[in-house]
Structure 1
Amino acid sequence: MAPLTAFKVWLKSLVGKRQGKAPESGDMAENAAATAKALQAGLELTSEGIILLDDRGRVVAFNSGAHALAHAALADMRGADFWDAIPEDIAESHRSAAEQALRESGSHQFVARYPFEDQWVEYCLRQHADGLLVTLKDVTAAHRASRQLRESESCNQALFDVHPQAMWLFDVGSGHVLAANKAAAALYGMTQDELGEFFAAQLFPEGEGAAVLASLPVGDFHGEMRLCTQKKAGGQPMLVELACSSVQWQLRPAVMVSVTDVGARHLADAHLQRINEELELRVGQCTDELQRSRSELDAFTSAMLHDLKSPLHVIHGFASTLAERYAATFDAQGRHYLARIQASTHQLARLMDDVRTLTYLPHMLMAPEQMDLVPVCQRLMDDLRRREPGRQLVLEMEPSLPLVGDRKMLVIALACLLDNAWKFTSRKEQGWVQVGLKADPASGNLVLQVSDNGIGFDAAYADKLFTAFQRLHSSADFSGSGLGLAIVRRVAQLHGGQAWAVSADQGGASFFMSLPQGADLPGPENLPA
């Protein structure tokens, strides 16, 4: 009565056990109904869709899952041909192949898509003595994941193939090259198919490939960089840099190799190294030559200053004697000449002193110490007042001006700055000089400022003030060697700072020296040359 005799016998025995007796002929109708009900209940227990067919392919029984998954147009598929019960387009697509497979192997499986529902259903047909068993399973999620995986693999394959970096993969077990991109084929001078016929060790010079591959770590690894030699299609060697990483390629453990031809770079590096060595040699030679030239210049300067001192003393002595003994016998013109000689000898002596100071400043050992500038400025100002007792100049300072610096150098610089202020305020009825310290927030340095109300200078020539022998005023109007501010700048540089000047709109000028403090102050080992 049903195609699955064994299944029905089991159900009949189950019903008989529940009734406590074996089925008799008079109870056949009742037992058949019970059997059908039990069969349907059993079909509904499974989560998959199940359709039972007789030996002619007609539907004997089905569960609700099968009806939903098959999207059957018939409310009750019993008695209908299976291929008529499912959607027509699916039957047309798969019937012929299914019937042939069932005749040959007794089973067939296919996946059908329902576009409207965007659903994929797997049909599995299995033949047995009484008919066919058809199971249906919703495989939409798996199919989507598989499709995304295929799309991802396709995308990765495309990216791998067109990537400008030469890359190839080889199988961990066999060492056979599994894939190579276009850049790798171009690098080795062969096609991608030709490269795919190689083993990884064949891309290295004889005997070197096995050692390189054996040195790769076992298991997962990434970014193993190494410099080695490989060979191109014609056997031409090339120096390459390899980056190796373990990957899964089509479910196989593999190693991806990224290859960079560094032969040109290696040659360039070697050439650059040679150039650097030559430059270092030339710089060393130039430094030695500069040191020799500087030593010779220092020696010449020292000798010149020493040799000039004696004749200058002689000139000064004779001029003083003439002024003491014979000034009364000279006429006005003679006395003028004598005064010019004495002024020139004094100017020359001061110039020699300034040249000596500027020359020997770089050779002085830096000895930073905590000091107060107030007593230094007062002593220097007292010396200036003794030279010209009739001058009135007010010195304005805070009660204390503490800083860290080399005392000898800062005394020299302050002497130049105060002498400069004394000189250029000489035409003022009431001159003044201000000395102060302020912190520079940007650099953290202390800034020494010396300001006066003298005649000032043209701001357009501010950059020339600190250049040796550069004068913005005539020596006839204001005496001087033209080296004072150059000395100030040199002292600032030796302290690791700098010097600059600002001219006031209403006359006067301010001169500044930035002086690093503490750890920023240079030591003897790194003083500027």
Structure 2
Amino acid sequence: MTESLKIPRNKKNSAIIINFSYHQKLFMHAKILIVEDEAITALDILRLLEDMDFEVVSTASTGREAIQKAKDLKPDLILIDITLKGEIDGIEAAKKITDLFNIPVIYLTGYSDQKTFERMKLTRHYGFISKPISYYELKLSVETALYKHKLDKKLKKSEEKYRGWFEDDLTGDFIATPEGELLDCNPSFLDIYGFNNLEKVIHSNISKFNPASWIDLITILKEEKKIKNRQTWLTRPDGKRFHVIANVVGVFNDLGKLVQVKGYVFDDTERKKAEENLYKEVERESFFLELYKSSPKLTDKELYSYALNHAVSFTDSAIGFFHLISNDQKTIILDTWNNEAFKTCKTSFKTHYPIEQAGNWTDCIKVKGPVVYNDFKNSPNRKGFPEGHVSVKRFISVPVFDGDKVKFIFGVGNKIEEYDNHDVIQIQSVANELYKIIKRRQGEQELKEARNNLEKQVKERTVELKNAFESVKREAFAASQNAKALKESEVKFRELFNKALDIITLSESRGSGLFGNFIEVNDAAVNVLGYTREEFLNKTPLDLFAPDNKEEVPEFMAELQKKKYITFESVTITKNGRQIPVEISVHTFKLGEKRVSLAIARDITERKKSEEELKSTVKKLERSNEELQRFAYVASHDLQEPLRTISSFTQLLERRYKEQLDHDADEFIGYVVEASQRMQRMILDLLEYSRVSTKDEEFKLVNSKIILNRVIEGLKNLIEETNAKITHDPLPTVIADENQLYRVFQNIISNAIKFRKENKTPKIHISTSIDKNKNEYIFSFSDNGIGIEPQYFDRIFTIFQRLHTLEEYTGSGIGLSISKKIIECHDGQMWVESKFGKGSIFYFTLPKP
């Protein structure tokens, strides 16, 4: 059915026709294909479009014809009726045209059922125009469709451009949900993260590989909305770590909720590793300085462990080992492991292994260079480890050479990532520096031994200085090869010869053994004896002996002939007749073709005086000892006789006239008896004190334990009466006078019991220690008695000095004085340490046998 079209015929009266719209200017002369099976309708549409200055390239009445003309004419727009006649209707034709040629389509429709309308909605169209068609509706629809299609083409081109950029971008671009679901990404993102297949990754959760890092990222995004240049280490699905720099923004909805995460990451692993390696190299060099500084304070074992633990740290390893190689290069000596390896390893092992039986951790010896096994499980020559051994995933081992011999191997293992060349450099550098220190230590030890040996040799050769002419002879031989050296040697000898304080002469030695004329004398000979050098040349050594001493010279000469070297004392006479006692050393030797005698005479005047003084002192001591013996005799006989008479007659008066005289007389007689008896005891004690310097017996080996047992037996009644407890440690055998040592033990123990606290059991303990520096035993006697105040420490060793009255404690106060003198006669010392009220410790020393 043909519908009439309302067309304004007068263009001049139309504002739209007179004033071209923006769209009409933009799409003027656009080519349009009309597909309409009613010819009148098609002609009307054609006239309208031409009035609008559009170009109608053709018309078609069937779907198949429309497809062919669309292919051939390539119009900018197609107006197509929905209900075309034939096998292909308008909707089907429009779908094929848009799919094949991407030409925009506007549907022309008069009416249609719901099903047709639904089909139309499923196709890509740019609107529809209802019949009858009005000028304005047609114009608006055409211009809108053309404009929209142009925008669509630009958008598609933009999308294609964006997709190309997205796909080709070297950074890893991605879009994901806050929960970690990957919505989209480019190939670079797949490469960086180590994913193989985009289809498998899309919509998978990528946060599971680095959960902590993803949670941290989302937390920061929620607060800051975007993240710039975030650096972090991540882990790929295969377990390998990589470093990225990430820039991420958050997409938020109207409620401010984070709904999407967009961003890109840059694989920064190589730069980061280079940075870390550089840091480790700086750290390694700093460590070397510290290693050299600390090494003198460390033992070899501590040095190995110190270096090994740092090597483990430098390579991010978990375990490390340091093992020595025997000189024959056949045995490996297990020496040091790092702390972590030592704690983890639970197995027992030998310390020496034949290298040929060891596993591939010794391959570095065989290949003479570093060995890296990043897959230990599948590595060659693997022999496994005993049960309890630390698990090994990968390791590096390096050898350290001295010449062609391996001195030790150095290794680390179980780094999380694979080892690389930088790790090898780190390990080899530490190992090499360690060996430099070890070798320097060895050199220092050898130098020390050489220095000690040299000092020993110097000491041994100092005796050669006594023979100045021998030195001259040796230097003269060397000087024959070098005139300058000879001259220097002569200068040195002349300086030594003339500056000597002793008289030095060189004379001819005759065949008979007697001295010939002087050949040379030093300045001391000229100054002391008074002759000029010319006068000496006309004299012999015999001329210088004092007259009374010349007779002994032939005897000395005979001994010199036999021994070639003698030392004797004699008296020389000066030019003015003064006699000087001297000690003379004479040595005969050959000087060129001559036999000569070198004599060194030392003035011993002062020594002779000292000897005379010593002899005088000895005589005085002998007289003093004789007087002391006489005093001892008087004290033991003459002084005691009157005391015995006084005591005897006083006691006789007491017996006969007691109670016949008054009470005062009886009391006075008692005083006299008591005083005479005390005086007699003091004289006996004094006599014993004077005899201490005289040995009762010769010193001999004495078992001090036996002495202690004898003392305990002798004090048995006193010990039982006071219930005293005496204990002792093992006691040594010493060299001593047995009876005198017995007296010392007895005095100290009896005093400890005597000066006990009231109502407290006396406890005495005897022990000994050794003073290695002085090579002596230190005896100690400790008690729990009343103690001594510090100001009395010296007084208690003074003869007859008491700290208490006779009423408080009996005794003469000489026991400790005698004990101290006995110890001093044994070349020992005696002293006390005490706290008043808490007890005392008496010490004395005796030389070790």
Which TM-score applies when normalising by structure 2? Answer: 0.31
Q: Which protein is bigger by CA-based radius of gyration?
A: 2
Choose between structure 1 and 2 for higher RCO, CA contacts under 8 A separated by at least 6 residues: 1
